[in-house]
Structure 1
Amino acid sequence: MNLTCNSTLEDMRIGSEEKIAGPLTFHQLALIIAGASTIVAYIASFYLMWRHALNYTKPREQRHIIRILFMVPIYATSAFLCIWYYWHAVYFQVLSDCYEAFAIASFFALMCHYVAPDLHEQKEFFRNMRPVKPWVWPVNWFAKCGGERGPWRTPTSGLTWFNIIWIGIYHYCFIRVAMTITAVVTQYFERYCESSNSPIFAHIWVIVIEAIAVTIAMYCLIQFYVQLREPLAEHKPFLKVLAIKLVIFLSFWQTIAISLGTSTLHIVSPTAALAYPDLKVGVPSLMLCVEMALFAILHLWAFPYSPYVENAKTSFYPVPDPSMGVPPRENEHGPKMGGFMGLKAFGDALNLWDVIKAFGRGMRWLFVGVKNRHTDPSYQPKPDDVDTSYPMKPYGAAHPSGKSTDHLPIATEFRRSTFGMPKTTDEPVPEESAGLITNAQPNPASPPRRQPSPYLDPRQPQYQYDPSPPAAYTPYDGAGGDLGAAHARYEYDPRGVQSGQSGSTAGWNEPQPGPRHAQRSSTQVRVGNALWGDRNPQGGAAAR
């Protein structure tokens, strides 16, 4: 097996190529065009960053905007140096690609701060976010084929969905830094071999791992945009996603395509006007410089500073569920905190400690929090999750005919022991376990006596009670019994309710006064006189 890298850029020099534009070779012309494009990218990018630094009224958002804007000058500088020092191009390429991971993480953090001001409130937002949209293609294709199982199922909890997106994006920072260190170290020991895609060298493995990691990160970023494009419409997320996605796509995949075309497939070969370093490094670097100048101009519209001036239009944080009816909260402007000439804002943006903490939080959830995710309140059923189909069933019931507490064993046992319910449908009720209803006794209390009106003479016959049964009545059968007696037969009477057993059910319908047919007894007279006084002195004396 040949372990020697046959061709490296360090062993090649450009100097005897044919002229293609007057006295200029391709390498010289590429340096001029790349240098002019880099200057344009610098002017547009630093102007926009400086304006953000002077109007540093929302540091949580603007620090990430400045980081994103830094990507353009870093890429342009790296590409220009790759053309100039093409034999050391690998060092400049991996260093600029390393910053790409921080740009993606900063864009995700910016979108999160558009949702809520801090991590705690962001978690509350996603915990209550409804509905959680299914994964976009191609993951949803696996869900259709294999069902809602495995990693492609749509999470039930919005917080779990947020944590998955969080890990899918921040893991790229670690992978990209690790691959950058790997490339630098293997290049130093001559085991990288950028000009070869052989698996015995580190170059192809670094490319494959980075391709997988950046694809996952960009997929999560697109999924995040699809979920929140409507709540964050006022921030123009589509233009921002386009500005980030195109930069990363062009900087990474066009380099991969040219590498495969020159090293593996041999579609393009060196000529008298184009040396191998021109094909391998010069062409993709020149394209990248021109593209960065265009993206620097695009960023003026994608990440404007005007929303952050002190008298700018007020923006609002979105609500997680529009059906809640909660009004959005205002995203307030603060005082300018950029410091002298905005230098403090630049220092704040260059401090990447928050990115390191975010990666640590993602790893903690991946190895610890994911095991306990079902205990989060977002996994509990919402009040509006009740089945509203017809026939409707009570909330919490397993079937339409069930009770709302049928899923609670203690409630079922209470009904059985208290009300004499059988333990099974075929089991008779034993006398020892009879409940309140079964052991209920008739109420012997007589109907309450009305206090006579002072304007009516109680001695008149039409106002005295007649205990004789009514002339006609309508029978009523209580199927389930009453508070009076179980399995009793009740008879309805407009003047009262008489029980089929001993006693009466006083309190339901108070007996109405009827015609008098009998005189009061002596005991009734004594009790009446003791309670209400002697209403008929002569009759009272006769009774005594």
Structure 2
Amino acid sequence: MADIENGRCHKEEAESGPSLLQNGDLVFQAHHVGWIVATSFTLVAMATSFWLIIKHLQWYTNKREQRYIVRILLLVPIYAVISLASYFFWNHSTPLLLVRDCYESTVLTSFFYLLLNYLSPDPDEQRAIFMKAGLSREADAKARLAREEPKKWVFPLGSVKWKPSDGLYFLQWMKWGVLQYCVVRPLTTLAAVILDYMGLYCEESYGLGWGHIYIVIIVSISVTIAMYCLIQLYVAVAEVLRPHRPLLKLFAVKAVVFLTFWQATFLSVLTMFGVVKNTKYMTAADINIGIGALLETFEMMLFGFLHIRAFTYKDYRPFHDPESKDPPPSRTPILRSLGHAMDFRETFREIWQGCVYMWAKMRGREPKHDEGAKRIAHYESAFGKARKSHLDGPKSAFIDRKRAYDAEKLETHAATFPAVYVDVDERIDVGGQRQWLGLGNDYGYGIRRDRSDSLEVQIERELERRGYGSRKSFRVFFFKPCFLNA
């Protein structure tokens, strides 16, 4: 039980136990054995996790995906080390565990944006996908016209009739549901640490006069919303994400959150019913901390091995034929890659853009963020197929640094009308000799590009007919092939 005096609640402390070394002999207490076991689990968990993190940083060829993977992989060493520290210093475990659990919000947000980047590295293409796949009143109307069953919310909200107006609004709601946890969790952690220092937190009490119950309620609601939005977004695009094995990754993330929360709850219930009792050198709360640390460090060791399979680095390592005379691909600088992975400015940017988006919706205006996605959708409607993106293709496409650089500009530059490219890669016979029509520099020579005014006029007219006008100019390029003798 906690010590309550003068309106302040402080953790109950037991008598200090004897030291491990007494008169030249090692005298083991139960918690000494626990320290050794938990330390062993922690070292294994750290070794596996840091090995995998270093591999990703050495082959940091897809920054948009790997920045989030590195953040997720840091979950294991952070949880293992802080859980072990709370066992060694159980009288100060409350602020340590609060700081540990705060990183949970970073992991959930990173996994959410990792799923979005699996769909496409282009934010406009991500939005265009959800224009079709997102739950919305617009999608329900199309489903009824096609005599199909409209999609429902994931359990337990399957009976809720309300839905966003369109798929773009659905995506923004899912983003907000996850990003709010990024704001709520750090703020509640800071508040809890301050209240604990002032003696107003009282972790062992659920009384209304202490801050613990209010922090628990706020965090529980916030994390429930974040997890629900994460699962709802995954269900909407599950088929598109299937090649990336998202279920294994989702389990590797969600199981950590699930186990740590319910283990702590179960141990607290055991203490309330007197199953766990005070000893001479440890209170019941200290014993709970020790049991929790043993379980968590063991679980982090298992998750460290699971992450090696779920978040493998081999997908990002350039292929090199050992029999080839070409030099092996160079590795990326570890520190520079780590600096990019731990740069959280894009998270703050997403929060700010979400505020601007919601403000525009509240004022009855169409957010500018959606213009690029709507252009892509209208292009597909006009030409009967999706606009070919230079970002499409296997992961090996990201190894090309020029393509990676071009993709980087998509995040910073304003959306423009899509350029239309014609890919020519055919074999023909000219004068009895075999010739090739190449694209770009794929065949070792440059390709000239000529402007096609007629096609530009056609596309401009089509966009004007759909209500987009011609306020912005755009160019349509054709590749004019050059012929070379075989």
The alignment's TM-score, normalised by the length of structure 1, stands at 0.58
Which residue is equivalent to 2:294? 286
User: Following superposition of structure 1 onto structure 2, how do residues 129-528 of structure 1 map, counting pairs within 5 Å?
Assistant: 129=133, 133-141=151-159, 143=160, 148=161, 153-262=162-271, 264-271=272-279, 275-311=283-319, 339-340=332-333, 342-372=334-364
User: Cα distance, 1:259 vs. partner?
Assistant: 2.8
Where do 5+ consecutive residues of structure 1 fail to align? Answer: 313-334, 386-544
Closer, same or farther: CA 272–349 of 1 in aligned 2, 3 Å: same
Does residue 1:88 correspond to 2:96, yes or no?
A: no
The 8 Å contact of residues 59 and 337 in structure 1, kept in 2 or not, is answered as: no
Provide Cα deviations, 1:285-308, integer angstroms capped at 9, x if missing partner: 221111111101100111011111
Which residue in the other structure is 2:42 paired with? Answer: 38
Aligned: 1:4 with 2:7: yes
Amino acid aligned to 2:17: G
- 2:108 corresponds to which residue? 104
- Aligned sequence identity (%): 33
Separation in 1, partners of 2:81, 2:131:
42
| Partner AA of 1:282 in structure 2 | G
Cα shift at 1:370: 4.7
Q: In structure 2, how many angstroms separate the alpha carbons of the residues matched to 1:360 and 1:165? A: 15
Structure richer in helix, relative to its length: 2
Q: Are the counterparts in 2 of residues 42 and 73 from structure 1 also a CA contact under 8 Å?
A: yes
CA distance in 1, matches of 2:125, 2:364: 20
Q: How far apart are the structure 2 equivalents of 1:177 and 1:218?
A: 17
Mapped to 1, the partners of 2:212 and 2:255 lie a distance apart of: 24
Task: Output aligned runs, 1:111-130, within 5 Å.
Answer: 111-129=115-133
Name the CA shift for 1:114/1:45 in 2 (closer, same or farther; >3 Å): same
SS of match in other structure, 1:203: helix
Contact kept in structure 2, 1:134 and 1:154, CA below 8 Å: no
CA distance in 2, matches of 1:218, 1:44: 27
Contact persistence 1:57–1:336 (CA under 8 A): no
Q: Structure 1 residues 365, 130: closer, same or farther in 2, change over 3 A?
A: closer
The alpha-carbon distance between structure 1 residues 25 and 364, as it changes in their structure 2 partners (threshold 3 A), is farther
2:439 aligns with none
CA-to-partner distance for each residue in 1:167-204, whole Å, 9 max, x for gaps?
A: 00010010001011101111121111222222211112
Aligned-pair Cα RMSD in Å = 3.2
* Residue type of the alignment partner of 1:305: Y
Cα distance, 1:338–1:205 mapped onto 2, change above 3 Å: farther
> Matches of 1:241 and 1:362 in 2, distance apart?
24
Indicate yes or no: 2:59 matched with 1:55.
yes
Q: Assess if the C-alpha contact under 8 Å between 1:193 and 1:201 holds in 2.
A: yes
Displacement of 1:270 = 2.6
Q: Is this contact kept in 1: 2:134–2:170, CA < 8 A?
A: no
Flag structure 2 segments of 5+ consecutive residues without an equivalent. 20-25, 140-150, 321-327, 382-486
Give yes or no for the alignment of 1:64 onto 2:68: yes
Moved more, 267-276 or 288-297: 267-276
SS at match of 1:24: coil
**CA displacement at 1:14 relative to structure 2:** 4.6
Instruction: Classify 1:232/1:35 alpha carbon distance in 2 versus 1 (closer, same or farther; 3 Å).
Output: same
What is the CA–CA distance in structure 2 between the aligned matches of 1:61 and 1:169, rounded to whole Å?
18
Shift in alpha-carbon separation, 1:338–1:199, aligned structure 2, 3 A: farther
- Contact 1:5–1:196 (8 Å) recurs in 2: no
Q: Would you say the 8 A contact 2:83–2:297 is kept in 1?
A: yes
> Structure 1 residues 298, 192: closer, same or farther in 2, change over 3 A?
same
Range with greater deviation from structure 2 (122-131 or 110-119)? 122-131
Residue identity matched to 1:8: K
- In structure 1, the residue matched to 2:464 is none
Distance 1:269 1:224, change over 3 A: same
Contact 2:172 2:354 in 1 (8 A): yes
Structure 1 Cα separation of the partners of residues 281 and 235 of structure 2: 47
CA contact (8 A) 2:15 2:281 kept: no
1: CA distance, partners of 2:188 / 2:252:
25
What secondary structure is seen at the aligned counterpart in 2 of 1:191? coil
> C-alpha offsets along residues 84-107 of structure 1, whole Å, 9 cap, x if unaligned?
011111121111111110111001
Question: What SS does the aligned partner of 2:240 have?
Answer: coil
CA distance in 2, matches of 1:232, 1:338: 28
Render the CA deviation track for 1:503-536: whole Å, top value 9, x for unaligned. xxxxxxxxxxxxxxxxxxxxxxxxxxxxxxxxxx
Q: Which amino acid aligns with 1:4?
A: G
- Greater Rg by CA: 1
Closer/same/farther in 2, CA of residues 30 and 255 from structure 1, 3 Å limit: same
Contact in 2 for aligned 1:160/1:373 (Cα 8 Å): no
Residue 477 of structure 2 aligns with which residue? none
Q: 1:227 to 1:338 in 2, by over 3 A?
A: farther
**What displacement does 1:364 show?**
3.0
Give the Cα–Cα distance (whole angstroms) in 1 for the partners of residues 247 and 28 of structure 2.
Answer: 42
For residues 310 and 250 of structure 1, the distance between their equivalents in structure 2, rounded to whole angstroms, comes to: 36
- Deviation beyond 6 Å, 4+ runs, structure 1: 335-338, 373-379
